[in-house]
Amino acid sequence: MGTHGRLAGKVALISGAARGMGAAEARRFAAEGASVVLGDVRVDLAREVADEIGADAAAAIALDVRRPESWADAVAMAEDRFGALHVLVNNAGIAGAQKRFTDLTYEEYLETVEIDQHGVFLGMHAAAPAIARAGGGSIVNISSVNGQFGQAFGLPYCAAKFAVRGMTKVAALELGSSGIRVNSIHPGAVDTPMLDADVNGVDPKSMFPYHKLPAGRIGAPEDIANLALFLASDESAYCTGAEFTADGGQTTGIGLPMFRMPTLG
């Protein structure tokens, strides 16, 4: 555990930390003095990131955010290995099935909601008592701009990400007296493996005119990691129950349709 940096002395548990934003958050937090537990279903990849950070400050664990017992193991690892838990980043997520909702099966709907929504509930449920035991801390829930506006072919994802925004506010109200702050991050498009998935036969990275955003580019995982760092640290001591958007200006009002919508029926 580092003695210097913006997260000196803190222990953080990050879900979905094997790649993308979660891996960037793990690296950034450790660089600022935190000890990090990297949880992911892809534990081999998570272990590679942990090895790169170094065993004194990072450990990987198999975590399936849909399973309460898996969360209990991850929280126990933070306390046993590093002595406490101060920060949870609920980052794991999937884009899930990308179809018009009338074409979705219930199973496809549930697959996304179980990971992106129920996983966040289970993470907060498991971690909050441990963070309270540590004297307080911060929970950072990764929602999306799709938790602020709708997106065609993304009903399950939007349902989950809107829910995360709401859960964040309730948890903030209920955990403030225990010294725990809870905030949500709403990224726009960020260049991670999640965007490599084809959307309805379309590659979002090549189709979306990112150069027309106010920021003029797609987001980098580090853009989100920097915001998560602020929310994890004591610098954000007066922020709780709030929404933090990092989208290069996408939600300021530019509306560029990605798809031509066929008529129903």
Distance of closest approach, residue 25 Cβ to ligand NAD, in angstroms: 9
Does residue 21 bind ligand NAD (CB under 6 A)?
A: yes
Look up residue 118 and give its DSSP letter.
I
Q: How much helix, strand and coil, in percent to the nearest 5, is found in the chain? A: 45, 15, 35
In the list 64, 73, 111, 222, the residue contacting ligand NAD (rule: CB under 6 A) is: 64
Is 138 a binding residue for ligand NAD by CB under 6 A? The answer is no
Among 43, 72, 94, 202, binds ligand NAD (CB under 6 A): 94
Burial code (b: 16+ CB inside 10 Å, e: under 16) for 170-209 equals ebbeebeeeebbbbbbbbbbbbbebbeeebeeeebeeebe
Q: Which of 178, 108, 166, 105 is nearest to 141 (CA)?
A: 166
Among 7, 10, 13, 22, binds ligand NAD (CB under 6 A): 22
Smallest gap, in angstroms, from Cβ of residue 126 to ligand NAD?
13
The contact pattern for ligand NAD, residues 100-119, with x = CB under 6 A and - = no contact, is ---------------x----
131 near ligand NAD, rule: CB under 6 A: no
Q: Is 189 in the site for ligand NAD (CB under 6 A)?
A: yes
| Number of helices (H), then strands (E), in the chain | 8, 7
Site for ligand NAD contains 12 (CB under 6 A)? no
Query: With CB under 6 A as the contact rule, which of the stretches 105-113, 168-176, 193-201, 248-256 interacts with ligand NAD?
Result: 193-201
| Residue 254 Ramachandran class (φ > 0 left, ψ -120 to 50 alpha, else beta) | beta
Assess 206 for contact with ligand NAD (CB under 6 A): no
Q: Does 10 bind ligand NAD (CB under 6 A)?
A: no
Answer yes or no whether residue 223 interacts with ligand NAD by CB under 6 A: no
Transcribe 218-262 into DSSP letters. -B-HHHHHHHHHHHHSGGGTT--S-EEEESTTGGGS-----SPPP
When asked if residue 192 is in the footprint of ligand NAD (CB under 6 A), the reply is yes
Known catalytic residue: 210? Answer: no
The yes or no reply on residue 74 touching ligand NAD (CB under 6 A) is no
Neighbours of 226 (CB within 10 A): 14
Is 43 a residue that touches ligand NAD (CB under 6 A)? no
Among candidate residues 109, 157, 210, 238, the one labeled active-site is: 157
Instruction: Give the count of residues interacting with ligand NAD (CB under 6 A).
Output: 28
Between strands 137-142 and 87-90, the pairing is parallel
H runs (alpha helix) in 83-220: 106-113, 119-133, 155-175, 204-207
The residues pairing with 190 across neighbouring beta strands, listed in sequence order, are 219
Site residues (vs ligand NAD, CB under 6 A): 15-16, 18-22, 40-42, 63-66, 91-94, 115, 142, 144, 187, 189-190, 192-195
Active centre residues (catalytic): 157
